Amino acid sequence: MASFNKVMLMGNLTRDVELRQTPNGNQSVANFGIACNRKFKTQSGEEREEVTFVDCEAWGRTGEVMKEYLSKGRPVFIEGRLKLDSWEDKEGKKQSKLRVVVENFQFIDSKSGGGSGGGERMGGRTQQASHQAHTEVAEADIPF
């Protein structure tokens, strides 16, 4: 049976990117959260908004670049896959958490976050391409 696991989200960071090293120190992993808003009208015509909070992780250079250039409140577009983590807590209860493993990302705004932004590679994309994508998104006037 075939399967497909692809996630694309655009939202704002709910906290600063936290960067850590694996126990053996050979790989870095970044953890962060994003909030994705959805505006809609009820059947009675009342405007409502719901927010979905999503935990994410990014490995290696992708996570390092995200830590360097992104902070709480900044918008970002991420592409990745869903991953279910399962464990037992201290009381022996089974716990689980669904998160997104980031494979690629793009900056949405053009604020400088600490670098010159001259085409450094990140997650298969370049900052230059991200700026172009930002311009295209802005011109498309996507409501969010």
Residue 106: CA count within 13 A, CB half-sphere? 17
Give dist(CA 84, CA 117) in Å, integer.
Answer: 34
Tens digits of residue pLDDT in 40-78: 999 999 999 999 999 999 999 999 999 999 999 999 999
> Does residue 86 register a pLDDT over 90?
yes
pTM: 0.71
Domains of the chain: 7-140 (2.40.50.140)
**Lowest mean per-residue pLDDT among 35-44, 69-78, 115-124:** 115-124
List all residues 6 or more positions away from 50 whose beta carbon is below 8 Å from its beta carbon.
37, 38, 40
pLDDT of residue 136: 41
Rounded (5°) CA angle 47-51-57: 160
pLDDT of residue 25: 85
Give dist(CA 27, CA 87) in Å, integer.
Answer: 22
The per-residue pLDDT of the chain, averaged, comes to 82
